[in-house]
């Protein structure tokens, strides 16, 4: 797996702080051609009045995970059961240059970052005001790449990968973390393919 320098939009970064190769050959990064946005990411206050909040609901052919809501456990987004009121509450801010969205937790400056040891498996993680500079060495992160068409959560980070899917990853304590799986692997564990729906908070 290749780790790349931070050459493109921080808001679309799938990058690492490890020593940068001279040439970026990442298949994902290579497709990204957006303008560099301001960095660090603007620190925001609480969401503006009138902001619409939503929860994220999972569907799957696997009965162990379907119909569960995404909730926050520490810094990790997990499947938190079938009670909507216990679900994490999100709002979205459009990033006009790319037409994609930042996904924020309702509290304040906390964004959903897809985070992993490499681009094979990226976990939904809660990060406060992520910037390119805050990415630990050797990790792959991306954020502000979400799309919400037809109330289905997906992403557009410029990748042309065909087999990617949201996935539930069973943990040793039997909880499931929410992740993006590249569909190819290999990874330790078995990803359960899931869809993620955007449902207005009631």
Ligand X SMILES: *[C@@H]1O[C@H](CO)[C@@H](O)[C@H](O)[C@H]1NC(C)=O
Residues that bind ligand X (CB under 6 A): 1, 59-61, 96, 116-118, 120-121, 187-188, 193-195
Alpha-carbon distance values, 124 to 7, 49, 164 (Å):
23, 26, 15
| Distance from C-alpha of 5 to C-alpha of 33, rounded to nearest angstrom | 14
Number of Cβ atoms within 10 Å of the Cβ of 88 = 21
Region for 86 from its dihedrals, namely left if φ exceeds 0, alpha if ψ lies in -120 to 50, beta otherwise: alpha
Q: Which is nearer to ligand X, 30 or 187 (CB)?
A: 187
Q: Which is nearer to ligand X, 104 or 121 (CB)?
A: 121
Cα distance between residue 36 and residue 51, in whole Å: 27
Nearest CA to 176 among 165, 164, 189, 187?
Answer: 189
Least Å distance between CB 179 and ligand X? 8
* CA–CA separation, 79 and 71 (whole Å): 6
Q: At its nearest, how many Å lie between ligand X and the CB of residue 121? A: 4
Q: Closest distance between ligand X and the C-beta of residue 119, in Å?
A: 8
* 161 in Cβ contact with 155 (< 8 Å): no
Nearest distance from residue 112's CB to ligand X, in Å?
A: 18
Residues 6+ apart with CB under 8 A from 50: none
Q: Which is nearer to ligand X, 74 or 99 (CB)?
A: 99
Least spacing, CB of residue 66 vs ligand X, in Å = 7
Backbone region of residue 183 per phi and psi (left: phi > 0; alpha: psi in -120 to 50; beta: other values)? left
Q: Which is nearer to ligand X, 80 or 116 (CB)?
A: 116
Q: Least distance from C-beta 24 to ligand X, angstroms?
A: 18
Q: Which residue is nearest to ligand X (CB)?
A: 195
């Amino acid at each position: 797996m290749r780790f790349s320098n931070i050459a493109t939009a921080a808001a679309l970064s799938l990058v690492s702080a490890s020593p940068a190769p001279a040439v970026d050959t990442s298949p994902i990064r290579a497709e990204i051609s957006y303008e560099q946005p301001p960095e660090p990411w603007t620190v925001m206050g609480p969401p503006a009045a009138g902001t619409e909040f939503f929860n994220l609901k999972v569907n799957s052919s696997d009965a162990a995970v379907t119909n569960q809501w995404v909730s926050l456990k520490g810094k990790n987004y997990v499947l938190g059961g079938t009670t909507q009121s216990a679900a994490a509450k999100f709002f979205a801010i459009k990033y006009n240059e790319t037409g994609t969205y930042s996904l924020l937790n309702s509290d304040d400056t906390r964004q959903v970052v897809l985070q992993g040891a490499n681009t094979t498996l990226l976990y939904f993680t809660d990060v406060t005001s992520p910037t390119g500079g805050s990415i630990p060495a050797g990790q792959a992160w991306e954020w502000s790449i979400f799309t919400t068409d037809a109330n289905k959560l997906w992403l557009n980070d410029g990748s042309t990968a065909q087999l990617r899917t949201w996935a539930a990853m069973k943990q040793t304590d039997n909880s499931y973390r929410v992740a993006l799986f590249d569909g190819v692997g290999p990874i330790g564990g078995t990803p359960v393919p899931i869809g993620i729906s955007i449902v207005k908070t009631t």
